[in-house]
């Protein structure tokens, strides 16, 4: 069986006006048996449709904050740097990928993108919003090295994530200042942190639409669970029906 081609959404340096990529994303996919290829940053709908057709799976990477206008809010002071081109490309690509039922794996911003595009909202800044309403304070933005695991995540049973990891609790690394506020009704939260923040989502009725708030690309060399996530994603890209549907798991 040939290795699946995985389209990796590009990172963007606003100051240098250049695309760039963390080797960790590429290396984790390659070690899991896929061929990672960084996609161009484009808002051309025809090119986006072609990319959706040609690649076997898609990794939606971390990076810029999403434009709050996408979830009908104005940017707060603590909202970070935006990249409108990424918002446009990734929104359109994700919708095409879901229509084609191709595997989509979101990491950090990727999870937030999945939620917003499907009708959810975000905390624009966790330290100034979420933590005002909880008793348990969780470290969501750690210091290097980012491969260190810094807080627990509880995983619900009978869903794709639990099927992959086969455990109810894991430790994860964490480097983000935004997170899911209102969950999209098209997604299911399958993992939460101790402060209640959603840490992973899946989409029912699709073979592999999964996103995590933590960064397995930093921890995959030292953490078996991170390796399992990339392996499951790449295996799903080998065959669209590799994983049974979420609705079948939970029936």
**Rounded Cα distance, 29 and 227, in Å:** 9
Give me the catalytic one of 151, 162, 176, 217. Answer: 217
Concerning whether 215 is annotated as a catalytic residue, the answer is yes
Concerning whether 79 is annotated as a catalytic residue, the answer is no
**Rounded Cα distance, 46 and 55, in Å:** 15
Concerning whether 46 is annotated as a catalytic residue, the answer is no
Give me the catalytic one of 83, 108, 176, 199. Answer: 108
**From start to end of the chain, where are the E strands?**
5-8, 11-13, 18-20, 35-38, 57-60, 104-107, 122-123, 151-155, 169-172, 179-180, 188-193, 198-202, 209-212
Q: For residue 106, how many other CB atoms are within 10 A of its CB?
A: 26
Cα torsion 172, 143, 125, 71 to 10°: value is -50
Which class for 14: exposed (0-12), middle (13-18), buried (19 or more C-beta within 10 A)? exposed
> What 8-state DSSP symbol labels residue 21?
-
**Catalytic site positions:** 108, 215, 217
């Amino acid at each position: 069986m040939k290795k699946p081609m995985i389209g990796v959404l590009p990172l963007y340096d606003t100051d240098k006006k250049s695309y760039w990529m963390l080797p960790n994303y590429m290396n984790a996919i390659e070690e899991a048996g896929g061929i990672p290829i960084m996609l161009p940053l484009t808002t051309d709908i025809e090119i986006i449709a072609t990319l959706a057709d040609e690649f076997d799976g898609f990794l939606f990477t971390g990076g810029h904050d999403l434009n709050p206008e996408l979830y009908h809010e104005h940017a707060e002071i603590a909202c970070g740097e935006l990249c409108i081109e990424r918002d446009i490309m990734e929104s359109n690509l994700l919708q095409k990928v879901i229509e084609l039922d191709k595997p989509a794996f979101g990491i950090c911003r990727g999870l937030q993108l999945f939620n917003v595009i499907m009708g959810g909202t975000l905390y624009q800044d966790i330290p100034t919003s979420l933590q005002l309403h909880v008793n348990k304070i969780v470290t969501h933005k750690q210091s290097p090295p980012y491969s260190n695991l810094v807080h627990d995540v509880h995983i619900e049973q009978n869903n794709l994530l639990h099927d992959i990891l086969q455990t109810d609790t894991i430790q994860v690394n964490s480097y983000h200042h935004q997170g899911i506020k209102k969950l999209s009704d098209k997604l299911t939260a399958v993992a939460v942190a101790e402060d209640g923040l959603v840490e992973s989502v899946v989409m029912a009725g699709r073979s592999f639409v999964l996103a995590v708030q933590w960064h397995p690309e930093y921890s995959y060399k030292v953490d078996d669970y991170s390796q399992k996530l990339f392996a499951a994603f790449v295996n799903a890209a080998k065959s669209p029906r590799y994983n049974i549907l979420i609705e079948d798991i939970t029936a």
